[in-house]
Amino acid sequence: MSIDVDIRALDCRFHLPEGMDDAAGTRQRLTKLAGGRLVEACAEALDALPDDGALWRVRHVHLDICVDAKGMSDAEIADLWGQALARALGEAMASGGASEDVRRFESARAFVVAFLRDLIDGRAHGRWYYEEFRHLQSLPAADVTVELLGVRPAWIVESLVELAGSGHLERLVARWTDRQSRRLIDALGLTFYPPPPSRLPSAVGDWLGSVSLEKDASRDAEARNRWRLFVAALSVESSDGSPGQRPQIAWRLAHAVATLQRLARRSPKALRMLIDGRVEAAAAAIATESWAAPVVGWLTEALGHPRRVEALAALARASSERSAPPAPESSVEASGEPNETSARSFQSAHAAIFLVAAPLANLEVWPVWVEAVGEAMARRWLYAVGTKLLGGKTAALRLDDAALAAFAGLPEPPKADARAEVAADNPPLGWAEKLEAPDEETADFLWLGRRLGYPWLTEPLDEALSKVTLAAARRFARTLPRFEASSVSYLSRTFLAQPGAVVGDEDALEVRLDGGPLGVVLRMAVLPDERRLPWLDRSLTITVG
């Protein structure tokens, strides 16, 4: 197997004899070799080394070579140069990764998994050997995982199992949404509604009891529970199929348990029917419920399959032993709207956006906006400011984030329609005239344009809201020791794009942040102990872990 060599930067210094004929031409010739034949020659020389499939990152090597520019051909020079470079790399690799300038990973997949671990731990960005992932640093860990594994489906299963083994998977899954879940389902080639399993692992009750599941009835929580069950099921032996069908079998089992958990909350009566093996009766009992159409279709796939009926009965029995209390009748599940529980307490990959709430309130634009366009539209503007703070180019990835909606006091994000035409008339924008306009780089970072498909977001309004966003970000920066002059993009990826829990009721809202890589700075920051936000009409408290 040939070894692939990727040289990110090559700094060459050519020392030519004084008075050499055509010195400029010789430099040009050697420079051309460095950008072409050299890499190929280096790879050929490295082929002599044993290839165990490992991926190496070498920060830099230094070498000196002498060549006869007049007497040697291009191929001879490249081969000599490549062999010298290969020897230098071989010596660096011989250290086995002991040097700070050399890192060895068992495989390309192990390299990605190591990056994800460090990313979840908040220490990936800034490490030289992860430079190729730098373009992802403004995204939360959940989105990064989907981006990296979604295009490498063969890596997904083993990578998730390894992350589970190191204790990182739960911290990752806790930030996932239904949208992210579906992308990985598609990448694995799985069916979102697979048929019921026909066989179960032994001691299914013990297996199910070992998986910690959320009690929340929201769509995002159910998606997270499916992945917890899926990864746990991957390690469970089953005789239902061949080893190559391992993901499909695990997914069928995970989906079955998640669906039965939903049934336990919604219709305990139907669950009891399943325990008795009365699948058709259970389907009929919920057939008229608005939330039940996919469940009814799933149950009917067991009809006529005795082994599926038997498996469902066993799973229903196990589910009934750990089921959550029935969800309130007011919960709206089919539409994906938050119910009472999820609206008061939820996890978000962008909970730190609330760090800018007090600085934004200090700008006193809220009452001006309400007077100009009314409360409903003013909340949409607040939502746009929160989205801008996390970067306009990646805004579409956060359309379903509950924290951004809660930040603006909205029950859910504003509805987007990319097909709708932008409004012809601009709202009153006099409130932005005295605010400083962002420089070109910052303006590009904040710009939303048509990325979210909001017809009310005209170009002048987009620019005006960018001014407000910049002003709020600068006020926030002034609360951070030694980070007062930080750019908006730096503040975004370092402090604002981090997860946490949002817990609240009618009178108060508490945001609990993990802290991130610079949590110590946030703990030193001049944050208000409690602040009542005019657009939320309740107090806000932020704690940093």
Quick: pLDDT tens for 512-542: 886 665 667 777 776 666 677 889 877 888 8
Average pLDDT on 387-411 reads 82
Residue 105: count other Cβ atoms within 10 Å of its Cβ.
19
User: Is residue 483's pLDDT more than 90?
Assistant: no
Residues of the chain with pLDDT > 90, as a percent, come to: 16
DSSP strands (E only) in 60-219: 102-105
User: Is the predicted pLDDT of residue 342 greater than 50, yes or no?
Assistant: no
Q: Are residues 162 and 224 in the same domain?
A: yes
This prediction's pTM: 0.56
Q: In the numeric block, which tokens belong to residue 46?
A: 């490295």
Strands 508-513 and 531-533: unpaired
Phi, psi of 3 (to 5 degrees): -95, 130
Q: Look at residue 508 and tell me whether its pLDDT is greater than 60.
A: yes
In a domain, 40, yes or no: yes
SS3 (DSSP) at 489: helix
My answer on whether 70 and 210 are in the same domain is no
**In a domain? residue 113:** no
Rg (CA), the chain: 29
Least confident of 226-240, 245-259, 331-345: 331-345
Query: Strand order of the sheet with strand 508-513?
Result: 345-348, 500-504, 508-513, 538-544, 531-533
Same domain, 213 and 296: yes
Q: What is the mean pLDDT of the chain?
A: 81
- Residue 545, pLDDT score: 66
| 508-513 vs 538-544, strand pairing mode | parallel
Distances (CA, A) of 402 to 198, 231, 381, 490: 37, 25, 16, 23
CA distance 431 to 108: 52
- Is the domain of 90 the same as that of 177? no
Say yes or no to pLDDT of 326 above 50: no
Checking if the pLDDT of 65 tops 90, the result is: no
Phi, psi of 54, deg, nearest 5: -75, 155
Residues 183, 94 share a domain: no
Start-end of H helices in 47-121: 74-93, 108-120
DSSP structure string for 391-417: -GGGGGGGTT-HHHHHHTT-SSPPP--
> Is 337 within the bounds of a domain?
no
Of 104, 124, 153, the last residue of a domain is 104
Domain range enclosing 96? 23-104
d(CA 533, CA 478): 19
356 and 308 share one domain: no
The pLDDT of residue 119 is above 70: yes
**Beta carbons of 389 and 407 less than 8 angstroms apart:** no
Residues 357 and 486 in one domain: yes
pLDDT at 2 over 80: no
Per-residue model confidence (pLDDT) at position 420: 61
Q: Worst-scoring range by mean pLDDT, 184-198, 420-434, 449-463?
A: 420-434
Looking at 19-33, 332-346, 362-376, which range is the least confident one?
332-346
Domain count, the chain: 3
**Between residues 272 and 495, which one has the greater pLDDT?**
272
Say whether pLDDT at 510 is over 90.
no
Task: Please tell me whether residues 378 and 435 are part of one structural domain.
Answer: yes
Q: Are residues 310 and 367 in the same domain?
A: no
Residue 485: partners with Cβ closer than 8 Å, 6 or more residues away: 477
Question: If residue 264 lies in a helix (H) or strand (E), which one and from where to where?
Answer: helix 246-266
pLDDT for 341 beyond 50? no
528 in any annotated domain: yes
Residue 427 lies in a domain: yes
262 and 397 co-located in one domain: no
* pLDDT band, residue 112 (cuts 50/70/90): very high
Cα separation of the two ends of the chain: 48
302 and 153 within one domain: yes
Nearest to 150 by CA among 124, 127, 116: 116
Same domain, 376 and 318: no
Tens digits of per-residue pLDDT, 136-173?
877 888 888 988 998 899 999 999 999 998 989 888 88
